[in-house]
Structure formats: C-alpha cells, structure tokens
Amino acid sequence: MIELPERPSRPMDGTAWGKQMEVVFLGTAGYHPNETRHTSCVMIPEMGIVLDAGTGFFRVRQHLRATTLTILLSHLHLDHVDGLTYLLDVLWEKPVEAVTIHGPPGVEYLRHGLFETPLFPLPLTYPVSPVPEEGMEIAGARVTARLLPHPGGSLAYRLDWPDRSLAYVTDTTASLDYAEFVRGVDLLIHECAFPDRMEARARETGHSWTSAVSELALAAGAKRLILTHTNPLDPRPDPVELDAARVCFPGVVVAHDGMAVVV
Ligand SMILES: [Zn+2]
Ligand SMILES: [Zn+2]
C-alpha cells in the first residue's frame, strides 16, 4: 500500500483551478506492474484529465474532483488501456457527469477489443474518438498530439494553458525529431524504459534510454523533466540510472507511484 502525499495547498485566484496545477503519477511502470509500481497513468485532478489508463487507473477514483473525466490514450498496448475496465468502480457513486476517451487513429477498436464477451461483461458506454488533427480544447487547455514511432505508433500529447504547459511522451524512442513539438514546456513527462546500458533492448522494443531522453529535453528547452514508464523487472528506486541524464539535465527525476508535482 503506497500512501499518497498530502495535496499541496493552492492559492485560489478566482479561476476554475487556481494558480497551481497538480499532476499526480498513479502508475509509473511499463509493461506490467511490480511490487511498487502500477502501469502508466498520470492525472491532472483539477481538470479531470487522465493520461493513459494502465493498471494505476484504479487510483483515479480517489482523485476525482472535476465533474468531467477526459482520458487521453497514447496507444492501445495493454499497459496503457487495461485500466479502462476499472471504470465501473472508479466512477461508482461519484458525481462525474461526462466521460470522454480520446486516443490515436483506430482507438474505437477498444469497444470490441476490450469490452466484449468473453473479455468483459458490459459494453463501453462512453464516447471514444481519435484526437482531431487540429487538436482540441479540454478544461481550458489546448491539447495537441503527434504520432511517434513505436510498434503500432504512439501519440505524444502537449497541453497548453495560457500560463503553463506540459507534454506527455511515452512508448517511443527518444529523438530530436519531435523536439519542436515539446519545445519550451514547463514539464516534460517522458518515458524511460531502460538505462543506457540497455540501449539495444530499448531500440528493439521501441522505447527510450536515459541519456537519449535527457538530450531531447535539453535540446527542446524543457524546464523540468520527469521520467516514467520504467522497467518493472528493476525494483530499484532509480531503475533508469539517473546519473546518465544529469549530465545534460541536472534536475531530472524519476517518477514513482503517488508522486505529485505542481506545475
Ligand atoms: Zn507501455
Ligand atoms: Zn507500447
């Protein structure tokens, strides 16, 4: 059982969510859970936005504050979508009025790929649609997406508010090819499945290694870098061997389940 940290106090300025915006990591492992990490899920509670729905998605329930829930999926690999089958419990007796699911082209496959007999007893009743090419507005954020290389492709997301921004990039091999897409973000959340010594394994599986991610973050002028989607076979608190990233991005940290940061 992992205790989630206290929600930081936040000055309110009359806007819908105040001056600070909390980002909570609910699942930080790639592929499968281990004793301390569930699979990919990141939530912005004030906005009711969830990035990916791995097994960490069950924790969304305790962070529901908005009356809408928008789920943005990077791709349909199971470690990013299997938590959708927990929605019945996540929403049970919660005052959430609308749930919307967006993802890459073909995301509608989830309806029959995950929510039909014999895999699941009930149909998925919420709208599911690809992110429009021109992007969309969600809870005051301009949301844009870019398809990146990964077996089957993976969508990177960028969320821009008038005074802050973040990007969520997972399940791809880090490169400068998309540096412009994440240019200058206040927070770059990027996958880092493997340390540098496992670069070959990362390339083989369509994932990233530590120094490649930090070089991208530096080149793109990201203000903060948090690494996630780590190798579940490695139980250490620092499975990505951060020293390799600190060479060019000294403030980099690796996420853990329950971590909350303010943007
Ligand atoms: Zn994954
Ligand atoms: Zn994947």
β-strands 98-103, 68-72 pairing? parallel
Domains of the chain as residue ranges with CATH:
22-262 (3.60.15.10)
- Using one digit for the tens of pLDDT, what is the confidence trace for 123-160? 999 999 999 999 999 999 999 999 999 999 999 999 99
Please report the pLDDT score of residue 176 as a whole number: 98
CA of 155 from ligand 2 middle (Å) equals 10
CA of 214 from ligand 1 middle (Å) equals 19
- Band of pLDDT at residue 198, cut at 50, 70 and 90: very high
- Band of pLDDT at residue 20, cut at 50, 70 and 90: confident
CA of 134 from ligand 1 middle (Å) equals 25
Strand order in the sheet with 187-191: 136-138, 141-148, 154-161, 164-169, 187-191, 225-228, 253-254
